[in-house]
Amino acid sequence: MNPVSLISGLRASIGAGAWLAPNLTGRLFGLDPDGNPQSSYLARLFAIRDLALAAGTLGSEGDARRRWLQLGLACDLADAAAAYLAGRDGTLPKPAAVMTGGTALAAAGMGVAALGQAG
């Protein structure tokens, strides 16, 4: 699978899961939706962002595709930083911070690879 399809598929999968089943998706990432009932609302905000990034990337070419990939990379790096900060200050349990931050860093790596291909 090429890197653009891979990162877009990952975004679409996580986005769809977080929109359709926010509590289950949150638990898979080590979060506690029962302890924070507002988290399903926040998950859906995150979900639509990932779905929009996937659709924008797949529905564009050339410079426009590069821009979508850059925007996704910026989001992934910000997500990783947020996970680090939340793990450091105890907002997230360490396992959840590692899971969410690791996923964001993996997505950032895929985004860099996709940008290299979009060349």
CA distance 13 to 60: 19
Residue 119 has pLDDT above 80, yes or no: no
Model confidence band, residue 49 (pLDDT cutoffs 50, 70, 90): very high
CA distance 103 to 119: 24
Average of per-residue pLDDT across 24-30? 92
Collapsing DSSP to helix, strand or coil, 49 comes out as helix
CA distance 13 to 119: 25
Q: Which of 12, 29, 17, 8 is nearest to 92 (CA)?
A: 29
* Token pair 């990783």 in the structure block, residue: 80
70-83 pLDDT, tens digit each: 999 999 999 999 99
Question: What values do phi and psi take at 35, rounded to 5?
Answer: -80, -15
Average of per-residue pLDDT across 90-102? 95
Specify the number of domains making up the chain.
1
Whole-prediction pTM: 0.91
CA distance 66 to 44: 25
What range does the domain containing 46 cover? 3-118
Residue 20 has pLDDT above 70, yes or no: yes
Whether residue 108 contacts residue 4, with contact meaning beta carbons closer than 8 Å, is answered with no
Model confidence band, residue 1 (pLDDT cutoffs 50, 70, 90): confident
Average of per-residue pLDDT across 63-70? 97
